[in-house]
A and B are shown apart, each in its own frame.
Chain A
Amino acid sequence: MTSKLQASTDDPAWARVGLIALAVAFVALMLVLPLISVFAQALAKGIPGTLAALSDPDALAAIRLTLITAAIAVPLNTAFGVCAAWAIGKHDFPGKAILVSLIDLPFSVSPVVAGLSYVLVFGLQGWFGAWLGAHNIKIIFATPGIVLATIFVTFPFIAREVIPLMQAQGRDEEEAAISLGAGGLTTFLHVTTPNVRWGLMYGILLCNARAMGEFGAVSVVSGHIRGVTDTMPLHVEILYNEYDMVGAFSVAALLCLLAIATLVLKTALEHFQPQGLDVVAPIPERLRP
C-alpha cells in the first residue's frame, strides 16, 4: 500500500512498529518465557524423569482429586449458572440487582477468604461443626470441602457468560414458542438453550480451567494431606517447597497443558461459531488459573 492510500486511522510507521514491538516483548517476557521455563524444568531429567514424577502415587492421587473436583464442580455450576442466568435474563423480580451483584462476589472476594469462611461454617469449631461431627460427616480437610470451595470460586464463570446473552435476546422467542403451544420445559430446551449454547460452552471451558487450577480457597480447606486432599496446584507447591523441582514442574507442566488445551478449544469455538448466532462475551478479568 502506498502512502497515498493510507487510511486516516493508520498511525505513522514508527508508532506502529514501536507499539507492536513493545507488546511482543511484554508477552514474551511475562507469558512465554515463564511457560517455557516450566516445561524446561519439568524435562530437566529427561522424559523418563518427568514420567516417573507424574506416576508417583501422590501425584496420581492429586491428579485424580483435581479431575474429580472439576467433574463435580463444573456440571453443578453449569446447572446453577444457567438457572441464574435464566432467572436474571428472562424475568423481573424484586432483588434482581442484588442477585446479580452476589453472583460477582466470588470474583471480588479473595479465594483465601472464601476458603476461611467455609472452615468457619463447616469446620470442627464452626457453626455446623458439632452436628457434622456427631453424624460423622467430614467436609473440611476432605474432598467435599475442596469441591465446595471450588464451586464457590468458579460460580460466576458460566452465569456471567450466559446472562448478557439471555438479556440481549429478550423474551420474544420464548413467547412465540409458548403461543405455538410449547410447554415451559420444551421452550427452555429447544428455544432458550440453543440460543446461548456457544456462550455456555465458552463459560464451561473457563469454569473448568479455573476449577482445575484453583489454589487459594482449596489450600485453606484441604489440610494438605498428601495423597488424600492434595489437588494438583497444592501438590505443585508441596513438591516445590521440598526442592523436588522435576516433580513440581512436571505436575505444573501438566496443568499448563490442560490450560493450553482449554485455550485451543476456546479459539476453535470462536472460529467455528456460526455467524448470526450468539456472540462470545468479553473475557472476565480473572480468566485462567
Chain B
Amino acid sequence: MTPATTVATSVTLHDVQKQFGRFAALKGVSLDIAPGELLALLGPSGSGKTTLLRILAGLEFPDAGKVSFGDQDVTFAHAAKRGVGFVFQQYALFKHMTVAKNVAFGLDVKKGEAKPSAAERSARVDELLKLVELDGLGGRYPSQLSGGQRQRVALARALAVSPRILLLDEPFGALDATVRKTLRRELRRLHEATGLTTVFVTHDQEEALDLADRIAILNGGQIEQVGAPMTVLDQPASAFVAGFVGQSNALAGQVQSGVFTHLAAAFPAVGVPDGAATAFVRPDQLALATEAQTGIAVRLDRILPRGPLLWLNATTSDGQDLEAAIVREGAAEVKVGDTVTLVIRGGRVFPT
C-alpha cells in the first residue's frame, strides 16, 4: 500500500520572520514538527499560516530564521530541490495534460539517472491513481473531473515524487461540505498509508480538530498555541485561542478573589488576577438551569436540532447573543420566545 519508501522527516522552524513591504506576515515563528506527524496550521486570514507553508515549500524565503528538514538546513534551498509535495487550494492542475500526465509530471521532468523508465513511470501513475481511488480516469482532462476528483489528482501528483514532506494549502477550501468530509477521511487514510510528515493550512477549526495530530494556532504572524486538538480545546493558552477554537461565547465580567461573575452567573476562575475579565464558554458548557440554580436569564430566539443536540440561539437581557448546545434526550420542553436560565458549567477566563 505504501507508495513511498522514504523515512518520515522531522521539520524545524526557528524564529522565522517574513515581511511583505511594511506588513509583517511572520514575526518570529518557531515550531517543531515530529516525523510522520499530521499538523494543522490554523488561523484567521492574514495570520501568516499560508506564508509559513510557502516558506516550508520554498515558494517564499524568510527574511530571518532557519528552516530544517531533519538535520538538513533548507532555509534557502530551491523549491525544486526540497522534495516537498505541495497541494494548492485551487488544485493548480496542468489543464492541458491528462490526469495521468499530471501525476507523472514530477517523474517526467527528472533527468538522467534519477529518471525512472517509461514503464516504471506508468506503473507508478497507476499505483497512485489507485491510491486516491481514481483508477481508470488517467485519460481524462482536469476539466472533465469534479472538484473532489481534481483535488485527488493534485494529491496523487504531489505524492508521485515521493516527497519528504507533504504540504497542503486549504486543501478542502473550494469543495462543498459533503465532499470535504469524504476527502478529510481520505487524507487521514493517505497519511496513515504513507506515514509522511504532513502540514496543512486551514481556517476551519472543525477541520483542524477533526484531522490533525496537533494544531498550531496562528494569529497576527505569531503562534498562539501548539497542541493536540483536546488540549487547545480544553486548555486554550490565550484569549485568542479560546475565542477562535470551539465557537466559544465570550462573556465580559469581573473577577474577584478567584471567582468570575457575569450578571447573575458565577464560576471559579482560579489564578486570574482581580479586575475585568472575559470568560470563554463553549456552547456545550452552557446548560438549562434547574429550579435551584441561578444563572443568566436569556430569551430563546431560535432552536435548531443538530443530531443528538439542540442548538439554542439566545439573547441576554443586555443584548448579547449566546449559543448553547444541550442534549436533546431528556431535555425540558422549550420553545422560541421562552425566557430560560442558563448555567455556566465551565469555561476559561482571561483578564482583559
Residue of chain B at shortest CB distance from A278: B95
Known: A182-B109, A183-B80, A276-B143. A176 touches B96 (CB 8 A): no
Contacts of A277 in B (CB 8 A): 95-96
Does A179 contact B57, Cβ atoms closer than 8 Å?
A: yes
Interface residue ranges of B120-174 to A (CB < 8 Å): 141, 143, 154, 157-158, 160-161
Instruction: Establish whether residues A172 and B143, one from each chain, have CB atoms under 8 Å apart when the complex forms.
Output: no
Report which of A175, A180, A182, A186 forms a contact with B59, defined as CB distance below 8 A: A175
Q: Which residues, 241 to 272 on A, are CB-close (under 8 Å) to B? A: none
Given contacts A178-B80, A179-B59, A275-B143, contact A172 B88 (CB under 8 A): yes
B95-109 Cβ-contact flags toward A at 8 Å (1 or 0): 110000000011001
CB-based nearest A residue for B59: A175
Report the minimum CB–CB distance from B125 to chain A (whole Å). 13
Give chain B residues whose Cβ lies under 8 Å from the Cβ of A56.
Answer: none
Partner of B79, one of A172, A175, A191: A175
Contacts between chains A and B (CB distance < 8 A), count: 70
CA distance A173 to B141 in the complex (A): 15
Report the count of interface residues on A (CB-CB < 8 A).
Answer: 19
- The 8 Å CB contact of B92, one of A175, A186, A190, is A175
With A172-B88, A172-B90, A183-B80: A177-B105 Cβ-Cβ less than 8 Å? yes
User: Are B109 and A180 touching (Cβ within 8 A)?
Assistant: yes
From B84, B95, B96, A179 is in contact (CB under 8 Å) with B84
A173 touches which of B94, B143, B158 (Cβ 8 Å): B94
A194 CB within 8 Å of chain B: yes
Contacts of A282 in B (CB 8 A): none
Prevailing SS type, chain A contact patch = helix
Q: Does B350 contact A (CB under 8 A)?
A: no
The CA of A125 and the CA of B86, in the complex, are separated in Å by 60
Q: Do B105 and A182 touch across chains, with their CB atoms under 8 A apart?
A: yes
Which listed residue, B58, B90, B109, B158, touches A183 by the CB 8 Å rule? B109
On chain B, the residues within 8 Å of A186 by CB distance are 109
Contacting B at CB under 8 A, from A205-257, are: none
* A181-B90 in contact (CB<8A): no
Report which of A180, A194, A276 forms a contact with B106, defined as CB distance below 8 A. A180
B residues apposed to A, CB below 8 Å: 57-59, 78-82, 84-86, 88, 90, 92-96, 105-106, 109-110, 141, 143, 154, 157-158, 160-161
Q: A residues touching B (Cβ–Cβ < 8 Å)?
A: 172-173, 175-183, 186, 190-191, 194-195, 275-277
Supplied contacts A175-B92, A176-B92, 14 more A-B pairs, CB within 8 Å? A173-B95, A175-B59, A175-B86, A175-B88, A176-B93, A176-B154, A176-B157, A178-B78, A179-B57, A179-B58, A180-B80, A180-B158, A183-B109, A195-B96
